[in-house]
Structure 1
Amino acid sequence: MSVTVISLDIDLFSDGALLDPWPLYRRIRDAGPVVFLSRLGVWAMGRYGPVRAALRDWETYSSAQGIALNPVANGTTEGRLLTSDPPEHDTLRSVLAHRLLPRQLRDVGQTVARRAEELVEGLVERGEFDAVPDLAQALPLGVVLDLIGLPQDGRDEILRWADGAFSASGPEGPRTSEGLALLEEQFQYLITRATRDQLAPGSMGWAIYQAADEGRIDAKSILPLMSAYLTAGLDTTVNAIGNAVYYFAHNPGQWDLVRQNPEIVANAFNEVLRVESPVQFFTRVTTREVDVEGVRLPEGARVMMMYASANRDERRWENPATFDVRRNAAEHIAFGHGVHGCAGQALARIEGHAILQSLAKRVARFEVSAPERRINQLIRGFKSLPTVVQAL
């Protein structure tokens, strides 16, 4: 017997909701396994079990019609990894996926560890810094852009464009329009300035062009692939590092556990990603009528897969709002799940672990003041996080 469909009249994209989404996510989870959001005209999955199962089932929950909440963004991002299904998705992913496997990143890992040590040592010597631009952005920005092989010209705009590209996934409105304009600026940069002749030989960007030359991908896929790796390769790591500083500042006992037990750094990073998932949601479109724990979703339904809500689902996690580095958080879905699991997650982990390991050697306590959150329709993190550290 089907369960009665629950419809909620809530605004997930007001300033207040973007700054503190957790009460609304709880309402969605409590209402049912999947609920209809009347203001948006879409469905929402907020519980861990249904979201994880749906992400595994790409044949029923398709990405090929885009992952955003507006048609312009879905049209603009057509042909990306996130907006394609197998076999096209597998072909596009194969161009660079092998370069992002853990075993292929060993040499990169050594470089990342060295850069993290140098960066953290300098910041701890200063004693006071902004943990977003000075720490969270500084390491991933240099690492990722070097891997892609971008010229120095234009690098100072990359994060602004990435921020806009993510926010463009929201519902129609001023913020979405601003995001789409920034996404167009990124495209123009890739077309006119980060051109083939400006990319470092042997880099990831160079490999994308080579794949087109060899006929492995269509030439029309070059720009979407470049944009995808340029956008998705930064924000998850940047926001996770900023969130880590914030949470350890407010939970000093948890930081003591990390300092005293360096072997739990990887688990601590997972817990940061679980409790504050940088990516809040992506959408999928159903290819058939499907039953979700008794609720019937029609064919053609656009469904918000709410990663951040699922990672705080009381049905899966005990005391989910509590930050606990001893928790086994390995099954979080902050990086997605299934065929669309983040291709760069191994690199993100290398960067996040390196920063935490370097900090654990040098910092006894963090103090943060006047944190300023970014208001972005898809990504959750800080714009500024003034930080004072007490050195060991």
Structure 2
Amino acid sequence: MSSALARPETVPAIDSDPYGEAGTVDPTTFQVAVRETADVVRLARYDCYATGRHEHVTSVLRNWQDFGSTHGVGLSNFATSKPWRQKSILLEADPPHHDAPHRVLADILGPRTQRTLREDWFADAETLVDRLLGRTTTFDALAELAMAFPLEAFPNAVGIAQGDRHRLMAFSDFLFNAFGPRNALVREAGPAARRHSEWVNESCRREALEPGGLGEMIWAAADRGEITAEQAPDVVRSLFAAGVNTTVHALGSLLYALANHPEQWELVRQDEGVRRRALDEALRWSTPVQSFFRTTTRGVTLAGTAIGAHEKIMVLLGAANRDPRRWNDPDAFDVTRDPAGHVGFGTGLHACLGQSFARLEAEALLTAMARRIETMEPAGDAVPRPNNTLRAWEHIPVRVTTQT
């Protein structure tokens, strides 16, 4: 080993707890501490490494050969302990096991499907906004827009029957909590999460899916032998888990930012080009998925630090997206900024397959809002929702003025 390499015992240690009460509501203080201490730090409470600088976060995410996902993208190390939860068939698999499900979903979620959905989603967004503004101009932007639209648009596209769609939020909220330690957020939600999971599993069956949707297309891929019949419900399940919750909180962050930056809302309202990239700036500024983990597959070197095999590394997406080494004035929300390079959707092999759908939903919703809403401002304090992994919202009260 080169003497220039940092040994594990010389890596700076951080004692802050990202899974404490403060960290699960607003992880900013923790993320800044990690990013500004060193390229790589050790989290003393959890006996793992962490990195938060954009250069190294992107390096880890793109190098699945050395920093794998197979042993879990949460804190639990499934290289050294038995998995206590169901693993994601996409997020927590590397090649070759990752390849077939990834190919199927990439094809299904491709440009052809987006073009098919675009007209319907824009019309649905107009209907939602018109109906909302027909009864009130003061409302919870999370519940009435950021949550209401994805819970209608995306499940319709997948083919999920009407009824208990609210379970999708609770189900995926628990999954993101489960990427952390088994703290109170996990323990208290456990019994209800099992019931939600049973509903999701039932909804993934071929017979439960509406004809013509993305879910039916996944089962058709199984019929063609592109994935197995055993994999098909897990692929549908992954689509459920990823397609709603993160989009809800991405839209929530976007609406929160626009309500608190009226000059930015005016830019969005007036300029279609700005409107199309506003979600990406919101993802950079207030990243919904704040962190994921990787596990070293062998002894590796990261930013001059020697790390042994089967070590956990916390990869701080939120910290990277506000890294002053990468972004000018990173704490400012600026829809005129070019946010290319942000890792709010991840990057590399495990980059979000549905990111174009999230952008389409945001564009549709903002277009409908711009047509009717002249000004938007907070109508009270926004309430965050604690989560071990997400930067999430409970309520975002806003007040708007409208134009006919």
| TM-score bracket for this pair, using the shorter chain length | over 0.9
Tell me the residue number matched to 1:170: 180
- Please give the secondary structure, in 2, of the residue aligned with 1:33: coil
For residues 214-261 of structure 1, give each alpha carbon's deviation from its aligned partner in whole angstroms, at most 9, with x where no partner exists.
433233323322221111101221112111221111111111222232
Q: For 2:188 and 2:233, how far apart are their aligned partners in 1?
A: 21
- Report if aligned partners of 2:100, 2:227 keep a CA contact under 8 Å in 1: yes
Q: For 1:73 and 1:114, how far apart are their aligned partners in 2?
A: 47
Range with greater deviation from structure 2 (208-217 or 79-88): 208-217
Range with greater deviation from structure 2 (255-264 or 179-188): 179-188
Q: For 1:262 and 1:202, how far apart are their aligned partners in 2?
A: 31
For residues 48-98 of structure 1, give each alpha carbon's deviation from its aligned partner in whole angstroms, at most 9, with x where no partner exists.
110111111111111111111135995533351001001221211122221
- Where do 5+ consecutive residues of structure 2 fail to align? none
Letter of the structure 2 residue corresponding to residue 386 of structure 1: P
Shift of the 179–225 alpha-carbon distance from structure 1 to 2, 3 Å rule, reads farther
Offset, 1:194: 5.0
- Report if aligned partners of 1:77, 1:83 keep a CA contact under 8 Å in 2: no
Tell me the residue number matched to 2:154: 144
Letter of the structure 2 residue corresponding to residue 86 of structure 1: P
Shift of the 266–388 alpha-carbon distance from structure 1 to 2, 3 Å rule, reads same
Q: For 2:61 and 2:314, how far apart are their aligned partners in 1?
A: 11
Tell me the residue number matched to 1:390: 401
Shift of the 74–389 alpha-carbon distance from structure 1 to 2, 3 Å rule, reads farther
Output the TM-score relative to the length of structure 2: 0.92
Equivalent of residue 120 in structure 1, options 129, 140, 145: 129
Matched, 1:278 2:281: no
Offset, 1:106: 0.6
Letter of the structure 2 residue corresponding to residue 35 of structure 1: V
Tell me the residue number matched to 2:114: 105
Q: For 2:103 and 2:330, how far apart are their aligned partners in 1?
A: 36
Shift of the 65–297 alpha-carbon distance from structure 1 to 2, 3 Å rule, reads same
- Report if aligned partners of 2:205, 2:233 keep a CA contact under 8 Å in 1: no
Q: For 2:193 and 2:65, how far apart are their aligned partners in 1?
A: 29
Q: For 1:65 and 1:238, how far apart are their aligned partners in 2?
A: 28
Offset, 1:276: 0.4
Question: Where in structure 2 are the equivalents of 1:11-26 lying within 5 Å?
Answer: 11-26=17-32
Letter of the structure 1 residue corresponding to residue 126 of structure 2: E
Q: For 1:263 and 1:79, how far apart are their aligned partners in 2?
A: 35
Equivalent of residue 48 in structure 1, options 36, 47, 54: 54
Equivalent of residue 30 in structure 1, options 36, 43, 68: 36
Letter of the structure 2 residue corresponding to residue 168 of structure 1: A
Letter of the structure 1 residue corresponding to residue 43 of structure 2: L
Q: For 1:147 and 1:340, how far apart are their aligned partners in 2?
A: 22
Shift of the 171–202 alpha-carbon distance from structure 1 to 2, 3 Å rule, reads same
Offset, 1:43: 1.0
Q: For 1:21 and 1:193, how far apart are their aligned partners in 2?
A: 34
Range with greater deviation from structure 2 (117-126 or 52-61): 117-126
CA RMSD of aligned residues (A): 1.9
Matched, 1:95 2:100: no
Range with greater deviation from structure 2 (42-51 or 123-132): 123-132
Range with greater deviation from structure 2 (175-184 or 335-344): 175-184
Matched, 1:348 2:358: yes
Q: For 1:131 and 1:59, how far apart are their aligned partners in 2?
A: 41
Tell me the residue number matched to 1:308: 318
- Please give the secondary structure, in 2, of the residue aligned with 1:312: coil
- Report if aligned partners of 2:88, 2:238 keep a CA contact under 8 Å in 1: no
Range with greater deviation from structure 2 (190-199 or 303-312): 190-199
- Please give the secondary structure, in 2, of the residue aligned with 1:137: helix
Offset, 1:345: 0.5
Q: For 1:82 and 1:272, how far apart are their aligned partners in 2?
A: 23
Q: For 1:335 and 1:44, how far apart are their aligned partners in 2?
A: 19
Equivalent of residue 330 in structure 2, options 308, 316, 320: 320
Matched, 1:378 2:389: yes
Aligned residue pair count: 392
Q: For 2:375 and 2:82, how far apart are their aligned partners in 1?
A: 42
Matched, 1:336 2:350: no
- Where do 5+ consecutive residues of structure 1 fail to align? none
- Please give the secondary structure, in 1, of the residue aligned with 2:24: helix
Shift of the 181–32 alpha-carbon distance from structure 1 to 2, 3 Å rule, reads farther
